[in-house]
Amino acid sequence: MANPHVLVIPFPVQGHVIPLMELAQCLVEHGFMITFVNTEVTHERVLDALADKGLLDDRIRLVAIPDGLESEEERKIPGKLAEAIYRVMPGKLEELIREINASEEEPITCVIADQGLGWALEVAGKMGIRRAAFLTAAAASLVLGFRIPCLIDDGIIDHDGTPIKKQTLQLAPTMPLMNTSDFVWARVANLALQKIIFGAMVQNNRLVKLADWLVCNSTYDLEPGAFDLAPEIKPIGPLLASNRLGNSAGHFWMEDSTCLEWLDKQPPGSVIYVAFGSFATFSKPQFEELALGLELTNRPFLWVLRQDTKDGTNATYVEGFQPKTATQGQIVSWAPQQKVLSHPAIACFLSHCGWNSTVESVSNGVPMLCWPYFADQFFNQSYICDIWKVGLGFKRDASGAIAHGEIKNKVDELLGTMTHCTDRIQGRGPLVGWAPRQKVSSHPSVACFLSHCGW
């Protein structure tokens, strides 16, 4: 019997393409044929970065369809991409599936679409093809989305999604604390755009519920409250964890692997890894506060500074920072993050708390310093700091900025606690609130592990 043929389609942003590509890689290992559909722009970037890594895998066929926009400038206008995708891509996807199914190849019998692309599930349904929605964020974020009608009934938000008053919610005891002003749609400054995004989310959530399967890149142990509230969402984090070996494809930038050699030369548990995912940008003053804060820690650091992180400009600050950098730290434009986080030299991760970064850090036992920007990142911070207690957040000043002194203090606080713990393990019976478990497990003095057998 021929291998079943699955079409996988991600939302065209980095934090979605990587996990869906990892899922595709897992499926290929289990004998599936995969057609992976990107937008044309994403397709080119993925191909370039893959060729650089020598990782082109002919078992996953990469194809492209247009996103409906003409220029990069248009793609940067808030809301434009989502609107164009919705207008153009359903027709193009249907055409592509018809073409494949009319050809000699094995027909597509299942579509796995990014949870944010409800329309792709609709196309599959219309064509009589089974469909799965894949959620690249925490289950908690979709549980909140499913609760929108109750939030309206309870007078927490109005019909356009605007919070009626600022308040903190917790939908279940092990779920994150959610501030109404941090709701994904409520952080959009432009009210008209907020209304459009909110409406699109409500519509999308309705379509997602029609999927045959709804799977999430998470585990029950991480989010028991969310999975109990919405048992239709199935966690498949363990499946992905088996692939988290740093061989993932789907990157938009070429990785600079020289930082791994630099990490090899650093003492175990010494380096602060600093990375803000694929979107977040800084103002120049905030950039300088972070640079100064890192210098003041007097600890080695590895900082991912994408070309566009410096407020869109190619500021000269990095050059000014160079003398110290040469001895204390490394700056790269894109790191092999999964390999970095599993490196024994890493002490902690200063992160924007994107869900991928969060699960990558947690699965490597690396504690976090949280610097969320938008979307689900504030809820993820609450998981990290309030629920799992594996990290600390920063205090912001009235303008929302984080000062260099605060950065130094939080690094010291986090790593001071860890050093205390690893030093004490030389003696007998220390009790700690939270241990650096991977480091403890691999410590030569540890004889056995009395555990609750979580995954």
- Shortest reach from residue 48's CB to ligand UDX, in Å: 15
If the CB atoms of residues 5 and 43 are measured against ligand UDX, the closer one turns out to be: 43
Residue with tokens 């950098």: 325
DSSP β-bridge partners for residue 302? 273, 330
- Shortest reach from residue 194's CB to ligand UDX, in Å: 18
- Shortest reach from residue 57's CB to ligand UDX, in Å: 17
Residues, the chain:
455
* DSSP 8-state code for residue 7: E
Tell me the residue type at 350. Answer: L
Reduced to 3 states, what is the DSSP secondary structure of residue 351? strand
- Shortest reach from residue 22's CB to ligand UDX, in Å: 9
Q: Does 18 bind ligand UDX (CB under 6 A)?
A: yes
How many other β-carbons are positioned within 10 Å of the β-carbon of residue 250?
A: 25
Which residues in 54-73 contact ligand UDX (CB under 6 A)? none
The residue within the footprint of ligand UDX, chosen from 32, 146, 213, 279 (CB under 6 A), is: 279
Nearest 5 degrees, angle CA 390-CA 396-CA 400?
Answer: 125
Q: Does 371 bind ligand UDX (CB under 6 A)?
A: no
Q: Does 136 bind ligand UDX (CB under 6 A)?
A: yes
Distance in angstroms (rounded) separating the CA atoms of residues 192 and 185:
11
If the CB atoms of residues 28 and 331 are measured against ligand UDX, the closer one turns out to be: 331
Of 309, 311, 279, the residue nearest 375 (C-alpha): 279
Tokens encoding 161: 């999604």
Which residues are CB-neighbours of 338 under 8 A, at least 6 positions away?
A: 244, 245, 246, 248, 360
Q: Does 24 bind ligand UDX (CB under 6 A)?
A: no
Q: Does 293 bind ligand UDX (CB under 6 A)?
A: no
> If 0-12 CB within 10 Å is exposed, 13-18 middle and 19+ buried, where does residue 401 land?
middle
Which residues in 236-255 contact ligand UDX (CB under 6 A)? 251
If the CB atoms of residues 330 and 338 are measured against ligand UDX, the closer one turns out to be: 338
Distance in angstroms (rounded) separating the CA atoms of residues 152 and 162:
10
If the CB atoms of residues 230 and 275 are measured against ligand UDX, the closer one turns out to be: 275
Q: Does 355 bind ligand UDX (CB under 6 A)?
A: yes
φ/ψ of residue 274, rounded to 5: -120, 115
Do 115 and 10 touch, CB atoms closer than 8 A?
A: no
Q: Does 303 bind ligand UDX (CB under 6 A)?
A: no
Q: Does 277 bind ligand UDX (CB under 6 A)?
A: yes
Q: Does 116 bind ligand UDX (CB under 6 A)?
A: no
Binding window for ligand UDX (CB under 6 A); candidates: 126-134, 190-198, 373-381, 436-444? 373-381
Distance in angstroms (rounded) separating the CA atoms of residues 2 and 322:
57
- Shortest reach from residue 341's CB to ligand UDX, in Å: 8
- Shortest reach from residue 218's CB to ligand UDX, in Å: 11
Strands (E), 124-270: 130-135, 168-169, 178-179, 213-216, 233-235
Binding-residue total with ligand UDX (CB under 6 A): 25
Of 394, 391, 398, 390, the residue nearest 407 (C-alpha): 394
The residue within the footprint of ligand UDX, chosen from 38, 194, 325, 377 (CB under 6 A), is: 377
Q: Does 22 bind ligand UDX (CB under 6 A)?
A: no
Of 54, 204, 207, the residue nearest 122 (C-alpha): 207
Q: Does 376 bind ligand UDX (CB under 6 A)?
A: yes
Which residues in 322-351 contact ligand UDX (CB under 6 A)? 334-335, 337-338
- Shortest reach from residue 3's CB to ligand UDX, in Å: 27
List interacting residues with ligand UDX (CB under 6 A). 13-16, 18, 136-137, 251, 275, 277-279, 304, 334-335, 337-338, 354-357, 360, 375-377
